[in-house]
Amino acid sequence: QVQVVESGGGLVQPGGSLRLSCVVSGSIFSINFMGWYRQAPGKQRELVATITRGGDTNYADSVKGRFTISGDNAKNTVDLQMNSLKDEDTAVYFCSANYVSHSGGWYTTAWGQGTQVTVSS
């Protein structure tokens, strides 16, 4: 019922920039936080960045200073601006939303299918 859709992935040269977008739709009363995760081949999925409904952000050390996460509470969207991209940023990027479907309910997490980001010269 809740859908998470990422977009904006693609091929970019090292040092370049890319902006990922994520939109959440469905029976959502309120979103606690949203985040971006990534998974490279043969590796575990790792945190990239998160943002709470109040606007607090958290970043992985590997992307700090290069990536910026932002969100729009009214539209249930979150973006990830990626600058100074490196080869090691190549991965499938997943968007997640931790939300409650109704007042007084419990929070659960929904995931998107991911969008491929490839950094290569």
Structure tokens at 106: 């419990």
* Segment 70-87, tens digit of pLDDT: 999 899 999 999 999 999
**Residue 89 main-chain phi, psi, to 5 deg:** -80, -10
Separation between Cα atoms, residue 14 and residue 83, nearest integer Å:
9
Residue 1 clears pLDDT 90, i.e. is over it: no
Separation between Cα atoms, residue 66 and residue 57, nearest integer Å:
14
Query: What is the pLDDT, as a whole number, of residue 99?
Result: 96
